[in-house]
Homo-oligomer: A and B are copies of this chain.
Amino acid sequence: MINIAIVDDHEMFREGLVLVLSQVDEINVVGNFNSGDSFLKALEELDIDIVLMDIKMEGLNGIETTQRAKSVKPDLKVIAVTMFVEDSYYMQMINAGAHGFVLKKAGKYELVQAIHEVNNGGNYFSQEILQKMAFKAISGKDEKENQLSTREVEVLQLICKGLSTKEISEALFISQKTVEVHRSNILRKSDQKNIAQLVIWAIKNNYTTI
């Protein structure tokens, strides 16, 4: 029996997932949680082999939750379950210690396959993710060089909230010129050419939620 926990703040999706997995032999759903926090609280008391973790959640997101969970239980295995197939996602999740990555649009069979793979000590990444990784490897872009700094993420989130450069400078108590520098660097690093593209990119990359 493989003991599974599910962490997702989408109630209907989570309930559905519980039922889908409960039907599968050798899989035992031992808990489901609507937030990273509630999962972490219950973590020590439960016997969990694999966690299906949503990345985008209110409050503690999947990446942070994974990091904290792994620091408590290093043997815990995590499969990220997410909506989009974008850049920084999987790298951050792999860094946080995830062993698999499945899209929400995937079906039951792919998910079960991922669970078995990961349970046997392997990894599972959906085809779409592998393609992204391959493309990135071929294009030879260095991840680290293009990672946003803390401040840049902060500015990006304010941009996505619709604040102008002036408003951002007031919110962060820095000059407009500094905000301009951040904006430019964000656009360069994200490889987007204007705010419209940047907002979409930010959503897909989990920097902001709709």
Interface residues of chain A, those whose CB is within 8 Å of chain B, are 9-13, 15-17, 19-20, 23, 84, 104-108, 111, 159-164, 192-200, 203-204, 210
Smallest Cβ-Cβ distance to A203: which chain B residue: B210
Q: Are B197 and A108 in contact (CB under 8 A)?
A: no
In whole angstroms, what is the CA distance A11 to B163 when docked? 36
Smallest Cβ-Cβ distance to A10: which chain B residue: B105
Q: Are B13 and A200 in contact (CB under 8 A)?
A: no
**Identical chains in the assembly:** 2
A contacts with B: majority SS: helix
Smallest Cβ-Cβ distance to A84: which chain B residue: B210
Q: Are B84 and A10 in contact (CB under 8 A)?
A: no
CB < 8 Å: which of B13, B159, B161, B163 contacts A12? B13
Smallest Cβ-Cβ distance to A103: which chain B residue: B12
CB distance from A128 to the nearest CB of B (A): 14
Q: Are B11 and A20 in contact (CB under 8 A)?
A: no
Q: Are B84 and A15 in contact (CB under 8 A)?
A: no
Residues from chain B with Cβ under 8 Å of A164 in the complex: 194
Most buried by B among A104, A107, A162: A162
Q: Are B104 and A10 in contact (CB under 8 A)?
A: yes
In whole angstroms, what is the CA distance A164 to B108 when docked? 41
Residues from chain B with Cβ under 8 Å of A10 in the complex: 104-105
Residues from chain B with Cβ under 8 Å of A196 in the complex: 159-163, 195-196, 198-199
CB distance from A15 to the nearest CB of B (A): 5
Q: Are A162 and B12 in contact (CB under 8 A)?
A: no
| Given A194-B164, A210-B204, A12 contacting B108 (CB threshold 8 A) | yes
Q: Are B107 and A11 in contact (CB under 8 A)?
A: yes
| Given A12-B106, A197-B162, A210-B200, A20 contacting B17 (CB threshold 8 A) | no
In whole angstroms, what is the CA distance A164 to B194 when docked? 8
Residues from chain B with Cβ under 8 Å of A20 in the complex: 12, 15-16, 19
